[in-house]
Amino acid sequence: MLVPSSRSASLRRLSRWLLLGEWRAHPVRAITAVAAIAVGVALGFAIHLINAAAFNEFSSAIKSLSGQADVQVAGTEPTFDEAIYPVLAAHPDVAVASPILEFNASMPDGRPPLRIIALDVFRAGFITPDLIGTPSDGQAADTLGDDVLFLSPAALAWLNVAPGPQSAVTFQVGTRPLTLRVAGSLGRARVGQRLGVMDIGAAQWRFGRLGQLSRVDLKLRDGVDRNAFQAALARTLQQDYPGRFRVGQPNDADQESRNSNLSRAYRVNLSVLALVALFTGAFLVFSTQALSVMRRRGQFALLRVLGMERGRLLRQVLLEGFSLGVLGAVVGIAGGYAIAAAALRLFGGDLGAGYFAGVQPTVQFTPVAATVYFALGVGVALLGCAAPAWEAARATPAVALKSGSDEVALARLAPAWPALACIAIAAAMSQLPPVFELPIFGYLAIALLLLGGIALMPRIASLTFRAAHRRWQAYARHRPGAPAVPALTLARLANASSQAGVALGGVLSSFSLMVAMGIMVASFRVSVDNWILQVLPADLYARTASGGATAGLTPAEQEAIRTAPGVARAEFMRLGAVSLVPSRPAVALLARDIDPAHPDKALVLVGSPAVRPPGNTLPAAWVSEAMADLYDIAPGATLNLPLRGMPRAFFVAGVWRDYARATGAVQIARDDYRRFTGDADVSDAALWLAKGATVGDAQAALKRLPFGGALDITAPTEIRALSLKIFDRSFAVTYLLEAIAIVIGLFGVAATFSAQTLARAKEFGMLRHVGVTRGQILGILAFEGGALTALGIGTGFVLGWAISLILVHVVNPQSFHWTMETHYPWPSLASVACALLVAAMLTALVSGRQALSGGPIRAVREDW
DSSP state of 437: T
Phi, psi (rounded to 5 degrees) for 572: -125, 160
Domain boundary among the residues 714, 729, 745 is at 714
Whether 451 is covered by a domain: the verdict is: yes
Confirm if 412 and 419 have CB atoms less than 8 A apart: no
DSSP β-bridge partners for residue 847: none
Whether 3 is covered by a domain: the verdict is: no
Do 567 and 595 lie in one domain? The reply is yes
Do 444 and 522 lie in one domain? The reply is yes
Do 103 and 202 lie in one domain? The reply is yes
Whole-number pLDDT of residue 863: 46
Q: Are strands 665-669 and 196-199 parallel, antiparallel or unpaired?
A: unpaired
Whole-number pLDDT of residue 1: 46
10-residue averages of pLDDT along the chain (864 residues): 60 73 72 80 84 75 80 94 95 96 91 93 91 84 89 92 90 94 89 90 95 95 94 94 90 59 68 70 70 70 74 81 89 91 73 59 87 90 78 67 53 74 95 90 91 85 89 85 83 73 71 86 91 92 86 94 95 94 90 89 89 92 95 95 93 94 93 95 94 92 93 91 79 69 66 66 75 83 85 91 94 89 92 83 75 58 47
Going by C-beta distance under 8 Å and a sequence separation of 6 or more, which residues neighbour residue 221?
A: 93, 94, 95
- Alpha-carbon distance 65 to 30, whole Å? 52
Confirm if 361 and 344 have CB atoms less than 8 A apart: yes
Quick check: helix, strand or coil at residue 700? helix
- Alpha-carbon distance 283 to 845, whole Å? 23
Helix 440-455, helix 457-477: angle, nearest 10: 40
DSSP β-bridge partners for residue 714: 541
Burial 496-535 (b: 16+ CB within 10 A, else e): bbbbbbbbbbbbbbbbbbbbbbbbbbbbbbbbbbebbeeb
Confirm if 10 and 302 have CB atoms less than 8 A apart: no
Do 653 and 772 lie in one domain? The reply is no
Closest CA to 288 of 494, 37, 456, 39: 37
- CA angle, 224 then 226 then 228, to 5°: 90
Do 708 and 562 lie in one domain? The reply is yes
Whether 743 is covered by a domain: the verdict is: yes
Do 285 and 235 lie in one domain? The reply is no
Residue 595 zone, left/alpha/beta (φ > 0; ψ -120 to 50; rest) = beta
Whether 820 is covered by a domain: the verdict is: yes
- Alpha-carbon distance 622 to 603, whole Å? 9
State the Cα torsion 697-700-702-704 to the nearest 10°: -140
The secondary structure element, H or E, covering residue 205 is helix 200-206
Whether 6 is covered by a domain: the verdict is: no
Whole-number pLDDT of residue 662: 84
- Alpha-carbon distance 664 to 649, whole Å? 18
Do 380 and 488 lie in one domain? The reply is no
Do 529 and 555 lie in one domain? The reply is no
pTM of the model: 0.84
Rg (CA), the chain: 34
Do 658 and 705 lie in one domain? The reply is yes
Q: Which long-range contacts (CB under 8 A, 24 or more apart) does 693-699 make?
A: 693/565, 693/566, 693/567, 693/568, 694/566, 695/539, 695/540, 697/565, 697/566, 698/539, 698/540, 698/564, 698/565, 698/566, 698/567, 699/540
Closest CA to 148 of 137, 158, 157, 113: 137
| Domain region containing 836 | 417-537+717-864
Whole-number pLDDT of residue 406: 53
- Alpha-carbon distance 800 to 803, whole Å? 5
Structural domain count, the chain = 4
Whether 376 is covered by a domain: the verdict is: yes
- Alpha-carbon distance 287 to 240, whole Å? 70
Domain boundary among the residues 199, 224, 250 is at 250
Q: Are strands 567-578 and 684-689 parallel, antiparallel or unpaired?
A: antiparallel
Confirm if 39 and 332 have CB atoms less than 8 A apart: yes
Do 621 and 671 lie in one domain? The reply is yes
Closest CA to 596 of 614, 575, 618: 618
Whether 10 is covered by a domain: the verdict is: no
Whether 1 is covered by a domain: the verdict is: no
Domain boundary among the residues 714, 748, 768 is at 714
The secondary structure element, H or E, covering residue 28 is helix 27-64
- Alpha-carbon distance 257 to 375, whole Å? 29
Do 421 and 546 lie in one domain? The reply is no
Say which amino acid occupies 293. Answer: V
Do 473 and 514 lie in one domain? The reply is yes
